Amino acid sequence: MPLDLVGKLHRTVYIEGCPSTVREDLLRLLVTKCGTIEGWDLMGERLIVVFSSMNSISTAITFNGTAFGDLTSKLLLWVATESPPAGVTQQMAIADRGDGAGGAPHSAEELKSAREARERRLAAIRSELAPEIEMAESTETNEARMLDLCVRQLKALGTLTSHALVEAEKKLEEISTHLSASQKLLESLRREKLGKATALPAEQAEGPDCTADANTAVVAAELPGVLGERDDEVARRVEAMVAAAEDIGQWRMRFRES
């Protein structure tokens, strides 16, 4: 009996321009690239292919205009629910047709025998291409798993990076606070040193005793050195903390840019 297309037109394609010697090769190609074929039939030179899944149609129509077989003509392929492309004389009827040979109608036994032969060839094609189809599906599954793993790893890396950034910001804030306090201490020491240096000449002018003047002069001579050493030590510590804070700030800028 003819191939029943009722309720299947949305996943059926018509193909013209395929030489009869390479029709089975075309079917193998469609099974490999598009997916499982539920059935196929012929109406004259027109090949009718019914796919098992609607998703196969979008891939199948990409073969329209492709040279196949002897390369002297191009395939004309379109979906059964759409109008035929230019160059196709008429759309095929769903029912009330013979076997499509263009001659006298054949008997029911002949039609049944031809249909069974096509089904056997299709089953052979499916069996032949089963390992390739299974391998392709396995490859797609592995790629999906790897993609999912990459996404989860990126999310974990983002979480760790965010935590590290928060910790770095806290440390930078603590260093900035400590640096500000050290700068205030340094300014206080400088003012204290300047005040003592200006107070010594006044004390020397008011003291009547020469010994006191000499002692004051010695203290005045030693005080700048002592204060200078203390001031230099504090200044070095402050500069070291400033350098550390600048390094952390530069690291933070590079991290955000990357």
pLDDT, position 12 = 92
Residue 46 has pLDDT above 50, yes or no: yes
The rounded distance, in Å, linking the Cα atoms of 142 and 85 is: 39
What CATH class is the domain 9-147?
Answer: alpha beta
pLDDT, position 183 = 84
pLDDT, position 104 = 46
Question: Which candidate, 246, 247, 228, 237, places its Cα nearest to that of 183?
Answer: 237
Arithmetic mean of pLDDT, 13-19: 89
Residue 96 has pLDDT above 60, yes or no: no
Q: Which of 10-19, 32-41, 221-230 has the lowest mean pLDDT?
A: 221-230
Arithmetic mean of pLDDT, 81-107: 58
> Could you tell me if 186 and 231 are in contact, meaning their C-beta atoms sit under 8 angstroms apart?
yes
The rounded distance, in Å, linking the Cα atoms of 208 and 41 is: 132
Output the average pLDDT for the chain: 75
pLDDT for 123-138, tens place per residue?
Answer: 776 677 677 767 766 7
Residue 77 has pLDDT above 80, yes or no: yes
Percentage of the chain modeled with pLDDT above 90: 6
Alpha helices in the chain (DSSP H): 23-34, 55-60, 108-206, 210-257
- What is residue 53's DSSP assignment? S
pLDDT for 136-194, tens place per residue?
Answer: 667 667 777 788 888 888 888 888 888 888 888 888 888 888 888 888 888 888 888 88
The rounded distance, in Å, linking the Cα atoms of 189 and 145 is: 66
Which pair of tokens denotes residue 23?
């029709």
Decide: helix, strand or coil at residue 77.
strand
pLDDT for 82-94, tens place per residue?
Answer: 888 776 655 554 4
The rounded distance, in Å, linking the Cα atoms of 14 and 46 is: 7
pLDDT, position 101 = 42
Comparison of pLDDT for 219 and 10, the residue scoring more: 10
pLDDT for 206-216, tens place per residue?
Answer: 555 545 555 55
Domain boundaries, the chain: 9-147, 162-257
pLDDT, position 94 = 47
Comparison of pLDDT for 200 and 240, the residue scoring more: 240
Percentage of the chain modeled with pLDDT above 70: 66
Residue 202 has pLDDT above 70, yes or no: no
Residue 98 has pLDDT above 50, yes or no: no
> Could you tell me if 57 and 79 are in contact, meaning their C-beta atoms sit under 8 angstroms apart?
yes
